[in-house]
Structure formats: structure tokens, C-alpha cells
Chain A
Amino acid sequence: MKLTKFAKVSIVAVISFALAVPTMGGASAKAHKFATAQNASQAGGMSGLIKGCKAEGVLNTIALPHYWADYGSMLAGFKKLYGVKIDEANPEASSQDEIDAANINKGTNRSPDVFDIGLAVAVKYKGTGTFAPYKSKLWKYIENSASGDGEYTPNYSGTMTIGYAGSLGTITKVDDLLEPRFKGKIALNGDPLGSSAGINGFYMINKAVGGTFDDISKGIAFFKKLKDVGNFINVNPTEATIASGQTPVVIDNGYVQAGVQKKFAAAGVSWKLFTPALVGSTYNSAVSAWAPNPACARLWMEYTLGEAGANVWAIGGAVPTLWTWLLKTRRASKEGIASAGTTRISAARATGAQTLAARAILKTAWPAAVGS
């Protein structure tokens, strides 16, 4: 095909323009007062926030799977209540991916407004100018929030559990997992060397067989036994593998398994949960310092860290950090109590240092125990 010079030049111009467009759609200049507001009153109260968010029209979220602590209902509720769109990016992203995405998209209107991150990542980026400090109205009632300065807020914690197909019978103690009926059926959600669900699942088993956060040798020995009898498989369980029965026993976050149970019940299939030891981890909410929609970001904090959000998380099987206060003031919803209960609040959590030490040991011990 022969092109005239003009045609060539225009093709080049069009393509370079197309490549440049995404970087040109920079952050909007509107509503700058929201970007520095550290609480609702600095943003003109709740009505000011709502008005600001409606003007922005959209909230950018990332890493919020709909089955995770019932984030599906959370997102739908926010959209319905405030009539704004939600632009959801990569639901399966990890905490680190969230920060990376914000850094890569810095200055564009695609950058995430809010984060939902694990403690390790939250601590790592605290004080680096990544988070905009913000305290929600009920901040002082939030468990463990008092020590923070609002850069990130503990939002909900999950206890680990074992979800399994009811057709396999009942599990009453951890040693049951070694029985032949579970041959090739037990999976851990993630690699303990990199995934927080993976390491916490490991901690739960470790604690159940008599280990502690500082002594993980018993857990390693148990997983080795589990692998040696052929019951443990190194498959990453997903919604698809669970739904299709490829991974009928899954060591996972309780708030994910609660969703699975609900879905299975709707289809008339039994999915049971067994929690041999109370081990949990707390996630954290934070606002991006360069959120393209600063008002919506702060409104999201008010919504999720308020009464409405806490009840959604509770129904989704997580324990909101506001839960103790909600129970005390009798604001907890019935469905929330049915799902989250009133006792799981005291789940044991590993500190960042304990996890780093455990990871250093697991780096060689884990592949040796369960590697192929």
C-alpha cells in the first residue's frame, strides 16, 4: 500500500496523540479543599462531602473483590446512597499492587482514591506521603485506632477458617485433616511466603497443633505430614476451583468462606466451616494522598467506617473494628450478629516482626515441607 506523505504524517500524528491522551487527562483542579480535609468538619460537614462527591461523580477503588467481606453489597450500597459511579480496578490485586497502581497512575484521574491494605504494607508506607490522614466521625470508637494518626484506619479483621464441602463429612479436630477421605483435597489460599491469607492460614494450623507466632516448627511439621499422606495440594484455590469442586477443603479467610457458604446454600449445597484456632488479621482503610476524587474518597471512609459499612462487613463474615462499640450501643444488626458473632473479636494476630521472622524460616522450610 502506497501512502502519500500527508497520510503517513497524519497516521503518525493520530497515533502519537492517542498514546499521549491517557497522560494528558490529569487530575481535575476542582475541589481542592477536600484534598487536605482531615475530617468531615474540615470538608464542610457530611453535606459538604456529599455535595463534593456528587460533583466529582466517581470513586476509584482497587482490589475489592465482591465476594470478599461482602464488598459487593458495600459498593452497591455506596452507589445507591450517593448516586455516584464506582470505577473498580483489578479486584484481585494485592496490597502492594494497590500502592504500586497509585504510584504508576499518579497525576491521572485513573489513580485509586482509597486503599484496603494489610498491616505490613500500611506500616511500610506510613509517613511516606502516600496516605492523606483522615479520621472518620466514629474514629474514636474504632478498635486500635487510638494509637494511629489517621494515615490509615483499622477497618475489619478476619479470622481464618477451614471451609469444606459438607459431603465430606464433619471435621472436629485438625488431625481429622490427615484422614484418607481428604486425599488430594486440602488447599491453602496462597503461598505463605507472599500472601497474607496464606501466612495466616498457616498460623491458624500452627496454633491449633500447639505452635505460637514465635515457634512455627509444629505448623511446618503438620503441613509436611499433610503433604506426605497426599492430602495437601499446592493449588491456588479460587472461586472457580471451589465452585467446581476441585478444592473441596480450603484454608482461607472467614469472610471469604462466609460468602462461599451463602452462595452454596442458595444452590442447595452444603459448605461447612471449621475454625480450629482463632487467628486473624486486620485490614486497614486509607485515602490516597493524590486521590483524583478527594471528596468521594473521604465520603467512602465515612460510609465504610460508619454504622452502615460495619454492618455490611459483619454480614460478610468479617469482624468490623467498630463491632465492639456497635454491640455495646446495640446498633449491631441482627444479620451481622448472626454472621460475625460476638466472640471472634479476640482473635490472635501476629506482629509484623513475627511475620518477617516466620517468613525467613519458611523461605527454606516451606518448599522443603510441601514442595514437589
Chain B
Amino acid sequence: MTRVKYSRTGSATGRTGSRYWRSKSDYLGVVPFSLFVGLFLLYPTLNVVTGAFRNQKNELSTEMLFQLFHSDITRRTFMNTVEISVKTALIGAILGGLFAWALATGRTSGFFYRFSVALSSVLALFGGIMLAFAFLATFGFNGLVTTFAIKYLPNTFFAEPAWLYEMNGMVVVYTFFQIPLMVLVFLPTIENLRPQWREASDSLGGNALEYWMRIGIPVLTPSFVGAALLLFVNSFSAFATAYALTNLSNFLIPLSIGSALSNEIGGANPTEAKALALYMIIVVIIVMTLYALLRRRVSKWEQTR
């Protein structure tokens, strides 16, 4: 008898129906998202991973993976890619972190703050052909600054723009979108530093150095490193900017993949592209695992604030 009475009471939201399906129907809203992720992320990834273990005749084989692993060219390309990613992640994280700190300690309701945050959101996505062209037109061999420098500052590096087309030039170009991304990712963390901590430190007799060494830096480090890892991955997989800046497909792994896919002179080799992509996925998985572990630490204190 009690059971019948219970079922008529209905739920607090006034909805009726099976209790089992009521809770499950909430998941329906996620279906489009899972479909999207499945179709455009998981399926292609699976395709790449399985494809990497085949040879040109589509038979199961680890030939291509071995061949690339032992190829000096591929190794150098991989080291180039890692080098540019590490450099731009470090430079981006440090400069972007400092900028975020400057923003957070300033007037957060001011025009400059809002302007900078908005600008960062735009510039973080300002990669690819446009960015490369902007740099070519400014610092390239026949760029605006270069033409000016050749006339008035002939002995500076502005007048010798060969650097733009080399590793360090590409690092400079990449940091252009890395710094704004760092600001976006790191700003919330800095803003979560509570002033009470500083006050507590001060009232216990600590000076600024002690505050930063014992409270500020330890608290910020996990987020900082996490953000730097994110920047690493961002640069690791960047394609369009490098593609516009250089013709050398052996320079970076994403360029090699592009060349293996759309080769016009008989060098097209989807298996090679997939095997290279698999190696990239492995690097990204390692980095993202580190990132997830760090986030867990960060979340601990971010949630308790």
C-alpha cells in the first residue's frame, strides 16, 4: 500500500514517469556532443592508430613505424618540433605569466584590463597564414621594418632578416599566439590568489620575498606548469603558420605529414602520415597525462577557496 502511495507523490520538479528513465533522460542532452566527439575526434584517431600498423599494401605490419623510428631525417624533424615547442612554451609561459600577473594586480574593472583580455582572446587564435604574412610583411626580406632598417639601422639584426626563416624566427612568430593563450589560461589562477594570504604572511612578519617563496610560487607552480604544457601541445601541433613560412617539409612533423598526404610527385604515402601522427599522439598523450595530474593538484586548492 505504501508503495502505491509513494509513486503518486511524483518528483520535486513535478515530473512523473519511471524513476530510472527520469535520471537517464538527463544524459540525452549530451548525445549530440558525444556523437560529435565520436565522429570527428575518436573515429579519426582510431583510424590513424590502426592505419599506422599497416604497410603500403594495407597488410598488418610495423614496418613503417620501425622505419621512421630509425630514420635520421625523421628524428631530426621530431627534435626540431620538440625544440620549437619547448622554446615557445617556455617563452610564452614566462612572458604571458608576467603579463597576466600585471593585469591581475592592476585595476580589474578598468578599460586596459578589459581591452587586454579581449585582445588576448583574439590574438590567441591569430595563427596560420595571416600571422605568417604579417611577419613577412613586417620583418621579411622586403618587409616594412627591414626596408626602414636597411636605410637607417644597417648594422642591426632588423636589416639582416635571415633569422625570420630559421628556427628562432619561427619561435618568435609562434610566441605571438602563445603569449595571449597563456594570459587567458593563467589569468584566472592569479586572480584566485587571495589577498588574505598576503595579509596573513605580512602579519606574521614575512616580507615580500618570503611571501612569494613560501606561498605565491608554490601555489601557482602547478597551474603555471600546466599552462606551459598546454602551450607545448598547442605549438607541437601547429601547421598553417609554419606551412606559410617555410617550404621545407622536413622541418617540422606536421609539415612532413602534410607532405606525405598531398604529394604531387609520387611520394604520397598515407601510411607514413599515419605513423608520424601516431608518434605525435603518443607525445601529446604523455603531455596531457602530466597536465591532468597537475590539474588535479590545482583543483584541490581552487575548489577550497
Interface residues of A (CB under 8 A from B): 2-3, 5, 8-9, 11-12, 15-16, 19, 93-97, 100, 118, 120-121, 124, 183-185, 187-188, 190-191, 193-196, 198-199, 230, 233-236, 240-241, 244-246, 248, 352, 355-356, 359, 363-364, 366-367, 370-372
Contact = CB atoms under 8 A, between A and B. Distances in A.
27 contacts: A5-B25, A8-B28, A16-B32, A96-B261, A96-B268, A100-B261, A100-B262, A118-B265, A121-B264, A183-B141, A187-B247, A188-B247, A190-B247, A191-B249, A193-B250, A193-B263, A195-B264, A230-B162, A235-B245, A246-B140, A246-B142, A248-B142, A352-B266, A359-B266, A367-B248, A371-B251, A372-B166
Contact of B141 (A93, A96, A184, A191): A184
A363 B73 contact: yes
B67 to A, nearest CB: 13
Given A96-B268, A371-B251, A194 B246 contact: no
Given A185-B141, A246-B136, A19 B35 contact: yes
B167 A372 contact: yes
Contacts of A370: 248
A94 B263 CA distance: 7
Q: Nearest 6 pairs between A and B by C-beta?
A: A184-B141, A372-B166, A120-B266, A194-B259, A94-B262, A196-B264
A124 B28 contact: no
A120 B265 contact: yes
Contact of A96 (B140, B247, B262): B262
A234 B248 contact: yes
Given A187-B247, A230-B162, A246-B136, 6 more contacts: A8-B25, A19-B39, A94-B263, A236-B244, A246-B141, A359-B266
Contacts of B15: 5
B212 interface: no
B282 interface: no
Interface size class of B (residues with CB under 8 A): 35 or more
A367 B29 CA distance: 51
Nearest to B32: A15
B118 interface: no
Given A118-B265, A120-B264, A359-B265, A236 B246 contact: yes
A372 B143 contact: no
B148 interface: no
B267 interface: yes
Interface string B250-261: 110000000101
A198 B264 CA distance: 10
Nearest to A364: B73
Contact of A235 (B166, B247, B261): B247
A355 B266 contact: yes
A198 B15 CA distance: 68
A298 to B, nearest CB: 26
A3 B29 contact: yes
B43 interface: no
A235 B136 contact: yes
**Residue from the set A2, A100, A371 with the largest chain B CB neighbour count within 10 Å:** A371
Contact of A95 (B166, B261, B264): B264
A194 B142 contact: no
Contact of A371 (B248, B261, B264): B248
Contacts of A199: 265
A91 to B, nearest CB: 14
B165 interface: yes
Interface in B225-255: 243-251
B174 to A, nearest CB: 15
B213 interface: no
A286 B265 CA distance: 18
B265 A195 contact: yes
A173 B133 CA distance: 31
Contacts of A93: 262
A57 to B, nearest CB: 30
A359 B260 CA distance: 13
B137 interface: yes
A356 B137 CA distance: 36
A118 B28 CA distance: 49
Contacts of A185: 141-142
A100 B260 CA distance: 13
Interface in B133-149: 133, 136-137, 140-143
Given A236-B244, A367-B73, A372-B248, A356 B266 contact: yes
B269 to A, nearest CB: 10
